[in-house]
């Protein structure tokens, strides 16, 4: 189903009179023949054979945000850059002008970021919401790792170096590409990039978890329509269970000092009735996108906490990290500065830490660590 910027515009059906999305355009959205057979935009998501039980357990036992909106109005390439560094703008000046990389890099299969072939391009949108040019998908601006205090570490787990969801590969000073179609050679990339998502489970077990960690899935575990095999809920549960039962730090484990944020990078083309907020110019040309699920899991999150704050976005994640590590909130001066919320409502340190209760799942960490299926398909097929 269409989840690029044109798909956003179709579903939004912006009303210039009221200044809001009417949210009635899903019927005009593109859908390939297989999807069109069942008119999947309107299908209910059934909990077939308990497939979604791990997600339901996380949502009901920890924190849920009712109004989490993706920051951008488009698919994964831009979304992951907002999650990693607060912007998909080609440069810092472009961000201030409301100019962003807006779509997935094409051709996308294993050919994105600063190691893409010379012919690979990504669309760029201006403050009027118009895609006006294409550029090579290699951006240059600060990201959250650039402002972490000395001594704090980070890591990014992804199924492939050139996949469109691999944000560090798309940042020039991190990747430092050997050339078009080459490899990232930068020290920061080499030390902090892992092309096997399941390595996060090994790193937790061996007490090697970094201070800040991004984990993106393989296609099989991505929840992406048509690509997934249904492994997503168990995959996420395996990470949460590994954190909750870890015995690092003299047996104390990671549970009492770790916050886990679970979200989806875009809305996937699915229908929603809730219109997104519209920011002031020049950011209104590409912000905000539609709602995505978000769960906050920690020892300090009350059971069944539902937050109706209007609203959270990907900048809220960055603000939370900044707050947590003593960085001024909004220090990047991108989405973190424009966001008004920092997720601290989900993390009440005045509470006694909750003991961890394992999430029941069909597949466990051992399964994913030993899963030898090739990771040769980009989790986003747009």
pLDDT digits (tens, 9 = 90+) for 64-78: 999 999 999 999 999
Is residue 375 in a domain? Answer: no
pLDDT digits (tens, 9 = 90+) for 29-61: 777 666 655 555 555 666 677 889 999 999 999
Is residue 380 in a domain? Answer: no
pLDDT of residue 357: 97
| Residue 276 region by backbone torsions, left for phi larger than 0, else alpha for psi between -120 and 50, else beta | beta
Q: Which domain holds residue 71?
A: 5-369
Q: pLDDT below 50 — which residues of the chain?
A: none
Query: CB atoms < 10 A from the CB of 360, how many?
Result: 12
d(CA 194, CA 191): 9
pLDDT of residue 33: 63
Is residue 290 in a domain? Answer: yes
pLDDT of residue 40: 54
pLDDT of residue 109: 61
CATH code, domain with 119:
3.40.720
pTM: 0.96
Is residue 378 in a domain? Answer: no
pLDDT of residue 376: 82
The number of domains in the chain is 1
The sheet carrying 131-135 orders its strands as 100-101, 122-125, 131-135
Is residue 377 in a domain? Answer: no
For the chain, how many residues are written?
382
pLDDT of residue 103: 96
Three-state DSSP state, 123: strand
Q: Are 341 and 318 in contact (CB under 8 A)?
A: no
Is residue 381 in a domain? Answer: no
């Amino acid at each position: 189903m269409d989840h690029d910027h044109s798909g956003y515009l179709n579903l939004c059906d912006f009303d210039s009179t009221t200044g809001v999305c009417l949210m009635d355009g899903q019927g005009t959205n593109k859908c390939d023949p297989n999807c069109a057979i069942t008119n999947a935009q309107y299908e209910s998501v059934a909990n077939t054979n308990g497939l979604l039980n791990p997600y339901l357990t996380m949502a009901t036992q920890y924190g849920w945000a009712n109004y989490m909106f993706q920051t951008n109005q488009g698919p994964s390439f831009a979304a992951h850059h907002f999650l990693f560094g607060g912007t998909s703008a080609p440069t810092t000046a472009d961000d201030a002008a409301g100019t962003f990389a807006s779509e997935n890099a094409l051709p996308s299969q294993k050919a994105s970021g600063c190691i893409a072939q010379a012919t690979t391009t990504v669309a760029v949108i201006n403050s009027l919401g118009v895609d006006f040019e294409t550029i090579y998908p290699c951006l240059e601006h600060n990201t959250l790792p650039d402002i972490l205090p000395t001594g704090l570490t980070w890591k990014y787990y992804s199924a492939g170096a050139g996949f469109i969801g691999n944000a560090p590969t798309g940042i020039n000073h991190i990747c430092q590409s050997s050339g078009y179609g080459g490899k990232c050679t930068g020290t920061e990339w080499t030390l902090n990039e892992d092309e096997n998502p399941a390595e996060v489970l090994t790193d937790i077990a061996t007490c090697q978890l970094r201070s800040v960690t991004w984990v993106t899935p393989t296609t099989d575990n991505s929840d992406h329509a048509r690509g997934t095999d249904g492994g997503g809920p168990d995959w996420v549960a395996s990470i949460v269970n590994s954190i909750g039962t870890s015995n690092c730090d003299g047996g104390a484990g990671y549970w009492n000092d770790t916050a886990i944020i679970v979200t989806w990078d875009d809305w996937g083309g699915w229908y929603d009735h809730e219109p997104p907020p519209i920011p002031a110019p020049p950011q209104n040309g590409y912000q905000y996108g539609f709602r995505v699920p978000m769960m906050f899991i920690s020892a300090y999150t009350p059971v069944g906490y539902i937050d109706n704050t209007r609203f959270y976005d990907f900048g809220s994640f960055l603000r939370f990290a900044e707050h947590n590590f003593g960085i001024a909130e909004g220090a990047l001066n991108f989405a973190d500065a424009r966001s008004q919320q920092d997720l601290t409502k989900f993390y009440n340190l005045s509470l006694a830490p909750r003991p961890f209760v394992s999430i029941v799942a069909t597949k466990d960490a051992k399964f994913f660590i030993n899963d030898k299926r090739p990771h040769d398909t980009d989790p986003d097929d747009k």
